[in-house]
Amino acid sequence: MRIQNISFMILSAYLCFATAWADEALVMSPPFSIEGVDPYSEDLYLYLSDANKVHLAISIEGDGQILLLNDQPPTPEQLKVLKKALADLQDQRPIDPQASQAIDYIIQFLSK
């Protein structure tokens, strides 16, 4: 019985953390700020932070087939927010040329 209780407590704690992380992942508050681009990765990685200083990692992986937000597939609502916020970010000047290219590519990917 004691092992079952411990297992249940561990599972409960995991679910609480997973739920909190999922709730956090749903909230993105534009405007975004550019943190950088990973120039050494084979895949595209764009690092941003939102208005609440939440760090976001946007990646396009697998020969340009999969877009991930913080290593998770984004929800349809997140995709809408992301597309608009990136377009707004692209209108800001000056932007690092690598970041600008990454943003353009992600916007094109989201427009497919």
Per-residue pLDDT tens digits for 67-102:
999 999 999 999 999 999 999 998 887 889 999 999
The predicted structure's pLDDT at residue 19:
40
The predicted structure's pLDDT at residue 49:
95
Pairwise CA distance, residues 47 & 32, whole Å: 10
pTM of the predicted structure, to 2 decimals: 0.73
DSSP letters of 8-54?
A: HHHHHHHHHHHHHHHHHHH---SPPEEEEE-TT-SSEEEEEE-TT--
Per-residue pLDDT tens digits for 36-74:
999 888 899 999 999 999 999 999 998 778 999 999 999
The predicted structure's pLDDT at residue 16:
40
